[in-house]
Amino acid sequence: MHRAETKPEHRWLHKLVGDWTYEMPGQDGKLYTGTSRVRPVGDLWIQEEIEMGDDRSLMTLGYDANKRRYVGTFLSTMGDFLWVYDGALDEKGRMLLLEADGPDMQDPTRTLR
């Protein structure tokens, strides 16, 4: 296997490296807080560990140069579904927009984008 060349898109992901705190409004009207730790996995990937109360989540993100798309996964102690992400930067190159197919929160027998 040959070693992948580091691209500017890989370096963009490394802007996210660090320890973060966040607030997120819930559908129940409560304000949820948590922490996030983003670490590099070599030069090509990042890994994020998220803690919110008793819940833990793990996200991986990288850039697939062949697809010219950002790719990643997400898993959480809140559910048994492995999310698979695909995305791109917005037109200004400031925000990473990710899409995934996942469980419909109203009907878990269905999936939605």
pLDDT of the residue at 15: 95
Domain boundaries, the chain: 8-112
Instruction: Calculate mean pLDDT across residues 5-28.
Output: 94
Q: Greatest CA span in the chain, whole angstroms?
A: 50
pLDDT digits (tens, 9 = 90+) for 37-55: 999 999 999 999 999 989 9
For residue 102, name the pLDDT band (cuts at 50, 70, 90): confident
Contact call for residues 86 and 71 (beta carbons, < 8 A): yes
Q: Which tokens hold the place of 55?
A: 């819940």
What pTM, to 2 d.p., does this model score? 0.85
